[in-house]
Structure 1
Amino acid sequence: MNETTRTPAAAEQAAGHPDDIARRVVSRCRQLGLGQDEVAARAGMSPRYLGQLLDFGPGFDPGAVFRLARVLGVSRADLVEGRADAPPGRAPGAARARMLRLTEQECWDRLGTHGVGRLALPGERFPLVLPVNYTVDGTTVAYRTADFGAAAAAVGDGVAFEVDRIDEHRSSGWSVLLGGRAERVQDPEAERRLVELAVGEPWAGGHRTLWIRVVPESVTGRVVGPAGGRGGGGRGGGGGGA
């Protein structure tokens, strides 16, 4: 069958590969904090049928795909074809939105799911804010940089470290802010531990062997989203420092 004679079902199958759709469903379930069995029940199907739907793609049961998209809070086109996210902050706020404070443990739980944050440190004329890959080690975060790099904070510098997650589609998200002091890691055993904890190499590349630890004196966080949920969930990989 050539391109001009392809049936509508075949064309849709090409637009939305089952593997891609399955990944979107799994990712969205994690964002919403829902199990796939619960999602299946809300969409009026059994978990086994949901598995078949993900295996065979949107042409298998278009009506079931529509119900699944509605339960996941996305459009059918977004589920089948994917979507290019708009720049953050352009979507309208959620209806009946509310903001809650995170406990310190909830802050650390969220810090452990991500690998890129923003470091604020003193500058010559004004504070510098730099994105860095990071690793969580107990109740501290650490990152790698070059000995004389812009992120090479001096021992004792007052610094802040921020990580956030935004769900543009749901107009929700969370942020965690640490305030504390910078320490340079010079103990070989501590360096080896951080290397083992790191998931990847610094994105910026280059020779970055200096580990700097942020020892927090305060840990605060907020979550904003629709009333009735904690908002802005989702898990990601840990980082390797930059």
Structure 2
Amino acid sequence: MPSTHPQPSGEKTAGRTDLGRRMAARREALGLSREELGRRCGADGTYIAYLEEHAASPAIGTLARVADALGLTVDDLTGASAHRVAGRSTARRDSALVPLDETECRRLLSTHGVGRIATFTPEGPAVLPVNYLIAGPDIAFRTSAEAVTARAAGTEVAFEIDNIDDVTATGWSVLAVGELAAVTDPDEMHHLNTAARSQPWAGGARSHWMKVAPARITGRRVVHDP
């Protein structure tokens, strides 16, 4: 799971609902105070504190504004999508799949987050989620020295990220293909450790940095005609 942020002084945790916990966790991950979040969604810090700390039932319009300010959907904010695979909504008739140029693909990659590494193992193909960051032209992530991805050093792998919006039936995906290598240069490892804002979600000892040097990057987006 993500690294634990220290609880800001004066902010309570007792009595939080799932909505309140999600709001607080996302807000803190973005480095926002309650007042800053309130300004983004047209409320004040006191109301944000109330939503985070009490069993509140805000109107759907309020939820939508808070979710948008946090870069989430309402389902993400309320937890309705937590146990559901994205992409179950019905496709629209005016949908079209358009390619993304490399500049846009790299922009989407630079948002950081969770991606998937696809590699071959002695047991067959494997696709594994990793928390990643962009280091210059490379895609870097941490793992353990005994992990499948660590053992795949020196081989060609694929790295993929995507975003699916069930409400609008839209989405995009980016695929990078290149050689996977272990990071061994001390200065490079120091830079990566400094740039990493949180621990890998999987937890445990994951101090072994790996990087993918993309030889090609492609992407696609589902759009709707006007």
- Normalised by the shorter chain, which TM-score bucket? 0.5 to 0.7
Measured at CA, do residues 16 and 99 of structure 1 come closer, stay the same or move farther in structure 2, by a change above 3 Å? farther
Question: Which of 175, 180, 184 is matched with 1:182 structurally?
Answer: 180
Once the two structures are TM-superposed, the CA of residue 222 in structure 1 deviates from its matched residue by 0.3
- Cα shift at 1:179: 0.4
Structure 1 position 126 matched with structure 2 position 166: no
Paired with 2:109 and 2:81, the residues of 1 have a C-alpha distance of: 27
Shift of the alpha carbon at 1:125? Answer: 3.2
Distance 2:67 2:207 in 1: 34
Count matched residues.
172
TM-score normalised per structure 2:
0.66
Q: Which of 206, 209, 231 does residue 207 from structure 2 map onto?
A: 209
Among candidates 24, 29, 33, match of residue 64 of structure 2: 24
Distance 1:189 1:211, change over 3 A: same
Q: Kindly indicate whether the alpha-carbon contact (under 8 Å) linking 1:170 and 1:225 is maintained by their aligned counterparts in 2.
A: no
What letter is aligned with 2:87? G
Please report the RMSD computed on the Cα atoms of aligned residues, expressed in angstroms.
3.3
- Say which SS state the counterpart of residue 173 (structure 2) adopts: strand
Query: Unpaired segments of 5 or more residues in structure 2?
Result: 1-53
Runs of 4+ in structure 1 off by over 3 angstroms are 14-23, 26-32, 82-87
Equivalence for 1:95: 93
* Displacement of 1:85: 8.0
Write the distance in 1 (CA, Å) between the matches of 2:171 and 2:159: 17
Q: Which has the larger radius of gyration?
A: 1
Following superposition, the deviation at residue 169 of structure 1 comes to 0.6
Spell out, residue by residue over 1:155-196, the C-alpha distance to the aligned partner (whole angstroms, 9 max, x if none). 321100000000011111000000000111011110111112
Q: 1:81-160, aligned counterparts within 5 Å?
A: 87-160=85-158
Q: Distance in 1 between matches of 2:163 and 2:96?
A: 16
CA distance in 2, matches of 1:202, 1:85: 20
Instruction: Choose between structure 1 and 2: higher helix proportion.
Output: 1
State the shift of 1:84 in Å. 7.2
Q: Within 5 Å, which residues of 2 pair with 1:41-120? A: 87-120=85-118
Q: Is the 8 A contact 1:153 1:182 kept in 2?
A: no
Aligned in 2, Cα 1:153/1:24: closer, same or farther, shift over 3 Å?
farther
More strand by share: 2
Contact conserved, 1:177 with 1:220, CA < 8 A, in 2?
A: yes
How many angstroms apart in 1 are the aligned matches of 2:66 and 2:107?
Answer: 20
Instruction: Please report the TM-score for the alignment, with normalisation by the length of structure 1.
Output: 0.62
Q: 1:194 aligns with which of 192, 195, 206?
A: 192
User: How many angstroms apart in 1 are the aligned matches of 2:216 and 2:118?
Assistant: 14
